[in-house]
Each structure stands twice: as structure tokens, then as C-alpha cells.
């Protein structure tokens, strides 16, 4: 491994500054120097990026899969292959999401994810597991299979945390379920990020779960309610989850970077109402992501879907079902390009939603998530369209466009 790499002649999105023409010097995998004048710097390897953008690598804290790789089904070898695919789209850290399933399956899959992290070349991309389901509300379950949904029984929670708690980063659950406050406390106590999702929680139920340590919301505006009419007074609206999570500044909000899943005005709204470090873009992407439009996929249960403009849609003989939305297939670079377009943010501000902000929510902002001296050189070189040219993981070039 080259010990010193100078990446120069780029537009640098540093943590605190934007340099229209600058450099980043990497030493032993970490960022050693950032600035505007590289004429006196001599490194073993020099990469002139000719005016491209030098950005922090992207962090996707909610994704189920990419191409033909699925965090709920693939073995360690295929998961590693998937990590390489993420790097194509500028991602330098992911949290792999599972789906509602029997606990034995979730636990054995978490163990496979743990094994994939051992890979020398790409293992560092994989932060761990996001447990999404089975502790969700049936009415807001989305793509989660109804027969698998459960309330958080203490034995199940203890078993999951004892067997694979070390590799779990985040857990999405509905705050109104029995034992949910206890569950939130168990997670907070262990340093696992509890997150609110697939829920009909009221304002009060959301407040209680925040008190128990929950600091994040899973895909707001997908599988969650805003206001509801009061049962006591006609036409009077009751505050709901959205009001609580907007009101508490310490809670970060995640949006899927997709205009089908999140109507465009919500991007501007969340940008306006949340503090600068509490807004996060995710892909929530499924198998099929990164494949060309029109690609068809067949699931194990026989259902067929096709890829279309960053989403997956149903193939069915029934015209009422054919074309129905089944999930997201957006990549992080496209999600960020859209965010920038919908909000009119600068490159620096838009990229925060997919780098330092998820790093902050996950508690890894001291080591990655921004271009700052001493942090890992997790970098991505992109053009104005967010097309990825190179990706560096801890100072090592892991992807380069041919
Ligand atoms: Zn979900
Ligand atoms: Zn998901």
C-alpha cells in the first residue's frame, strides 16, 4: 500500500471549508493535510483530479441490498461482492438492513454479516446490521411480511442482543408496541441506535421513546403518520409522530432519496425545520438496485418486479396490481443529486446528509464522515452530476471508473 497519496487540483468539500481549488494529502490511510497550495508537497503517488469534486465518502445507514446481493439472504462471500458494488456508487460505509423474519433467520444472517466484515479488502465498508422488523405495526408494515410481525418479547430481545448484539448498529421498531420503552432502554444502554419506524405512534408515545434514548427516525413519510383527527373533537387535529420528531432537535430524520417514496416538498421542509446535522439521506435500496431500467427480477415466492427510474414495480397480469411500487432501487450518489436538486442546497450542504450526518447519528463521526485531519481517508471523487470517478476506503483506492 502506498503510504502517501496526494489528491490535488480538485474542489474540496472539507468539513468546515469549501476550497474551489485544493488538495487532500493521505498518510497511512488517514487525512494528513488539506489546503490550497500543494506546490511544496511531495508524495509517493499524486492524483490530479482536474477540477472534479473531492467529497467525503457516502454513508448509507439503511439499505437491504444492491445488484443481486441481499443482506437478508446472501452468504458472506456474496455480501463482500456487494460491498464492492456499493463502492461504485461512492459509498464507503453501509449498515446492512434485514427484514421481518423468524428470529433464527435474522440471527444467522447477522452472523453472516459479521463474517463479511472480516474481509481484508472491503470488510471495513460494512458497519454492521440494521434490524428492521419484526417489531412493527401491521397497518404500516409496507414490504414486511405480516406473519412475521411480533411485539418485543423480553426473551426474544435478550436472545437477539446476546447472540449478535455486537454487530447490531440500529434497530427500527414501533414505539406504541408493548415493551417498546423497555426495548429502547436496552438498546440505548448497549450503545445501539434505536430508531422509530413502521408505526402509528402518537405524539406522547414518541416523546416517551425519545426519553428512553431513541434519536433517529426511519424513512419518515413512509410507514408513519403525521396528524390524526381527535377522537373527542370533530375536525380538531392531534399532534403525532412527525410533530414530536421535528420538535426535538436531538432526533435525526431519515428520508429515502426518491421522489416516489418522498414527495419533493418534504425534502425542503425537513431541510428548513431540522438542525444542520440532523437530516439524513438513505437509499433503503433492495436487490436489483444498480441494474438497468427494465431489468426483471423474480423473488423466491414467485413475485416478479422490474426496475424503473430508481424504484421497483410489480409485474402482474392484473392491471390494478401491475406497476405498483414495491420498493426503492436508488443509489446514494443519485439520492444526493436529487436532494441537491429539490432543495437547491450547495454541494457541501447536500453531501452532509449522506456523510457527516449519518456518521453523527451512528456515533462514528470521530473517525469518518468528513474531510478533516486525522479522520480516515474515506473519499469519493465525483463530477457535478454526482457521477462517481474514484472511491477511497481508508486511503486505499477501491473503485475507479474505466
Ligand atoms: Zn422500512
Ligand atoms: Zn428498509
Q: What is the pLDDT along the chain (402 residues), one digit of tens a residue?
A: 558 999 999 999 999 999 999 999 999 999 999 999 999 999 999 999 999 999 999 999 999 999 999 999 999 999 999 999 999 999 999 999 999 999 999 999 999 999 999 999 999 999 999 999 999 999 999 989 999 999 999 999 999 999 999 999 999 999 999 999 999 999 999 999 999 999 999 999 999 999 999 999 999 999 988 888 899 999 999 999 999 999 999 999 999 999 999 999 999 999 999 999 999 999 999 999 999 999 999 987 788 999 998 899 999 999 998 999 989 999 999 999 999 999 999 999 999 999 999 999 999 999 999 999 999 999 999 999 999 999 999 999 999 998
Cα of 142 vs centre of ligand 1, distance in Å, is 7
Cα of 131 vs centre of ligand 2, distance in Å, is 9
Residues near 90 by beta carbon (within 8 Å), at least 6 away in sequence: 55, 57, 58, 332, 333, 380, 382, 386, 388, 391
**CATH top class, domain 57-290+329-369:** alpha beta
Give me the phi and psi of 83, to 5 degrees please: -60, -40
Distance between CA 377 and CA 14 in Å, rounded?
A: 12
Closest to 206 measured CA to CA, from 233, 173, 230, 234: 173
Cα of 99 vs centre of ligand 2, distance in Å, is 7
Distance between CA 42 and CA 47 in Å, rounded?
A: 12
Cα of 50 vs centre of ligand 2, distance in Å, is 38
Distance between CA 365 and CA 34 in Å, rounded?
A: 18
Cα of 347 vs centre of ligand 2, distance in Å, is 26
Q: Where are the domains of the chain?
A: 4-54+388-400, 57-290+329-369
Residues near 37 by beta carbon (within 8 Å), at least 6 away in sequence: none
> 4-54+388-400 in CATH: which number?
2.30.40.10
268-286 per-residue burial string, b: 16 or more CB within 10 A, e: under 16:
ebbbeebeebbbbbbbbbb
Q: According to the model, what pLDDT value does residue 1 have? A: 54
Q: According to the model, what pLDDT value does residue 225 have? A: 83
Cα of 295 vs centre of ligand 1, distance in Å, is 23
Q: According to the model, what pLDDT value does residue 2 have? A: 59
Grid cell in block for residue 238:
392531534
Cα of 276 vs centre of ligand 2, distance in Å, is 24
Q: According to the model, what pLDDT value does residue 226 have? A: 83
Cα of 219 vs centre of ligand 1, distance in Å, is 7
Q: According to the model, what pLDDT value does residue 52 have? A: 98
Amino acid at each position: 500500500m502506498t503510504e502517501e497519496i496526494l489528491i490535488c487540483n480538485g474542489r474540496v468539500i472539507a468539513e468546515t471549508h469549501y476550497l474551489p481549488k485544493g488538495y487532500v494529502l493521505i498518510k497511512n490511510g488517514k487525512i494528513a493535510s488539506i489546503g490550497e497550495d500543494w506546490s511544496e508537497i511531495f508524495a509517493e503517488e499524486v492524483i490530479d483530479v482536474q477540477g472534479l469534486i473531492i467529497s467525503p465518502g457516502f454513508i448509507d445507514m439503511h439499505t437491504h441490498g444492491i445488484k443481486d446481493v441481499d443482506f437478508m439472504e446472501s452468504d458472506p462471500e456474496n455480501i463482500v461482492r456487494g460491498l464492492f458494488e456499493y463502492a461504485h456508487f461512492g459509498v464507503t460505509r453501509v449498515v446492512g438492513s434485514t427484514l421481518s423474519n423468524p428470529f433464527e433467520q435474522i440471527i444467522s444472517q447477522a452472523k453472516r454479516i459479521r463474517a463479511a466484515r472480516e474481509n481484508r479488502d472491503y470488510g471495513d465498508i460494512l458497519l454492521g446490521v440494521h434490524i428492521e422488523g419484526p417489531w412493527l405495526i401491521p397497518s404500516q408494515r409496507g414490504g414486511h411480511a405480516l406473519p412475521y410481525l411480533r411485539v418485543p418479547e423480553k426473551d426474544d430481545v435478550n436472545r437477539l442482543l446476546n447472540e449478535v448484539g455486537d454487530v447490531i448498529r440500529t434497530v427500527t421498531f414501533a414505539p406504541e408496541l408493548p415493551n417498546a420503552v423497555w426495548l429502547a432502554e436496552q438498546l440505548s444502554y448497549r450503545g445501539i441506535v434505536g430508531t422509530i419506524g413502521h408505526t402509528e405512534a402518537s405524539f406522547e408515545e414518541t416523546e416517551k421513546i425519545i426519553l428512553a434514548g431513541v434519536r433517529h427516525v426511519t424513512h419518515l413519510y413512509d410507514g408513519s403518520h403525521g396528524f390524526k383527527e381527535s377522537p373527542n373533537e370533530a375536525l380538531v387535529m392531534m399532534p403525532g409522530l412527525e410533530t414530536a420528531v421535528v420538535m426535538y432537535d436531538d432526533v435525526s430524520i431519515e428520508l429515502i432519496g426518491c421522489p416516489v417514496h418522498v414527495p419533493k416538498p418534504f425534502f425542503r421542509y425537513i431541510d428548513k425545520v431540522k438542525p444542520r446535522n440532523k437530516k439524513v439521506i438513505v437509499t433503503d435500496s433492495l436487490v436489483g438496485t444498480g441494474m438497468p431500467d427494465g431489468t426483471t427480477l423474480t423473488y423466491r415466492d414467485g413475485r416478479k418486479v422490474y426496475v424503473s427510474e430508481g424504484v421497483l414495480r410489480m409485474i402482474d397480469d392484473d392491471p390494478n396490481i401491475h406497476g405498483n411500487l414495491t420498493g426503492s432501487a436508488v443509489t446514494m450518489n443519485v439520492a444526493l443529486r436529487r436532494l441537491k436538486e429539490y432543495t437547491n442546497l450547495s454541494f457541501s450542504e447536500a453531501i452532509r446528509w449522506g456523510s457527516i450526518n449519518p456518521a453523527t447519528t451512528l456515533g462514528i463521526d470521530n473517525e469518518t464522515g468528513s474531510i478533516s485531519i486525522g479522520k480516515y481517508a474515506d473519499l469519493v471523487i465525483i463530477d457535478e452530476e454526482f457521477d462517481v470517478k474514484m472511491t477511497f476506503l481508508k486511503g486505499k483506492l477501491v473503485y475507479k471508473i474505466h
